[in-house]
Structure 1
Amino acid sequence: MPRFAANLSMLYNEHDFLDRFAAAARDGFKAVEYLFPYAWGAADIARRLADHGLQQVLFNAPPGNWDAGERGIACLPGREAEFRAGFSQALEYAQALGCPRIHVMAGLAPAGADRAMLQKTYESNLAWAADLAAKSGRDVLIEPINTRDIPGFFLNRQDDAHGVITRVGSTNLKVQMDLYHCQIVEGDVAMKIRKWLPTGQVGHIQIAGVPMRHEPDLGELNYAYLFDVIDEVSTQSGWTGWIGCEYRPSRAAQPGATSSGLGWLAQRLQ
C-alpha cells in the first residue's frame, strides 16, 4: 500500500505551523513534508517530529527570494555561490531532521535567456549538490512543474527531468514525480508511472486533484486506480518511496478543513 506524507505547507493551515505536526499524526499520517523549514529552528521541528512519531521525508532547498516571485535559482547563471550556500543550509536541516531528500527547484527561465546556458548551469549545480549530499547519504530531487501554476518554470516534463538525471549521472539525483503537474502537462499518468517508477530514478511522488489542486478524490484523475498502479509497479520493481499529499483542502474556509476531506485516505488505510 502506498505510504502517504502530509504536506504541512498546504494542509492543516487552520493551525500554526508547529502545531500541524500533531494534527497530521492525529489523522493517521506517519510522515510529513513541506516547502521550507528555515523560518523555524531545526531543534523545534525535530522535537515535533519525535513527539508525534513522524518521519520527515522531504523539504525544499532555499529558492532565492520567494516573496519577490523567485521559484528556485539552480538554472540561473551568476547565482552559483548563493545556490551553494542555500543548499549547504538545507543539508544542515536535513541532518538535524533525519530527512533523506532535498528538493532543488530549477527556477524561472528569464525572458530571452540562452536555454543552453541555463541547462548547463542547472546540471552543474545539480552535480555539485548531489556530490555533497551523497556524503551524508541523502538524495537530491528535481521536479517538473506545469507552467500554468508557475509560468516560465524551467523544467516541465518527466522525460526532460530523466534526461537531466542521466546526463548528470549521480545515483542520488532523482525525480520528484508530481502527478498533478504531470497530468496538466502531459497526461497518460498511469503509463508514466509504469515507465518511470521501475527505473530507480523516481525518489518521491506527490498528488493533488486536477484541475483545482484539491483532494485527490476530486477532479479528473482516478487516484484509486493510480494508487493500485503504484502498488503493482512497486511490488514488481521494489520502489519504496512516499507519496506527498500536496493539495489545497477544498473546504479551506471551514474549521477542520483538512481532516474533513480525508475520506479518501481513510478508505485507503482500511
Structure 2
Amino acid sequence: MLVSINMRQTICLVLVFATTYTFGQNNIEKKITLTGIEKIVGNFQWGDVTLKNYEGSELIVEGDVSINLGENNDAFSLETKAEGNVLEIHASVEDFKSLPSYLVIDSDRGRSYRKIEKTDDLDWKKIRDEFGSGQSYSMGPLIEISLTILVPKKLALVIETEYGSMEAIECQNPMDLKSKYGHLMVNLPARMEEDCQFESTYSFVDVSCPPNAGYNLLLETNYGQVYSNLDLNIDKKGSVDKIFESKIIGTLNNGGSPLQIKATYSDIYLRMKT
C-alpha cells in the first residue's frame, strides 16, 4: 500500500485515459550510429516515448505514427544531429496548426469521427440526433505517435516530451527525463549507480525502486502529494511541508546515487519494485 508521507489532507485518484486510432498507421524505424557519442539529448513534441536498453551499439528509434487516420502521416518529422560527443534527436509534427481537424464523438453507439471544414458549420442538433445519447466531443487533429528508443547502457540521456508520456524500463544510464503534459513512469534496474532526475509539470511521476537499492532523495511537488511504501529516512530539518510547496530530503537504504523527482502540479509515487 502506498502511504502519503507529507501532512496534507488530500485524497487523489489518478485516472489515465488512452485514446487509440488504429487506422492508417505508419511503422517507422531509424538507426543512428553512436561512434564517439557520450550523451543523447532528445525532444519529442508529440507522442508517447518508451526507453529501453539493448546490447547493440546504435540508437534505434522504432514505433507507429498515425496522424488524421493516416491522411497526414507525412507531417511527422524525426531529425538527428551529432555535435561533438552529443547526439540530438527531435521529433515533431510539422505545420500542426494547418492540419485538418476532426470531431471525435464518443456515445453509447461507440466512437465516430467527422472531418471538420469549419466549426461554425457544425449542426449540433443533427449530430446529437445521429449519434445518440451519452456523448462527449473533442476537436482537433488526430495524433497518435508511439515510439520506442533502444539505447546502449551508460550513455547519458536527457529526454523531454511535451504532449505525450514517457516510460523508462530498467535503463542503466544517467537520466534527466522531463514530461510537460504527460506522466512519467520509471522502473529502475537492480544495479543503479547513475544520477537520475525525473520531472513532470502537469502529470504524475511514478518510480519503482529495487528493494535493496540505495539513493539520496530529493522529492518535490507544489500542488500534489508524495506517496511511498518504502522505508525512507527523512531529513525533517531540511525538508519543507507548506501549502504550495512540499520538499522531502532523505535517503533510502542508507543512501547512494542521487535521485531527484519533481511533479509540479501532480503527485509523486515512489514504490518498491515487485
TM-score by length of 1: 0.28
Q: State the structure with more CA Rg.
A: 2
- Per residue, is there more strand in 1 or in 2? 2
- Per residue, is there more helix in 1 or in 2? 1
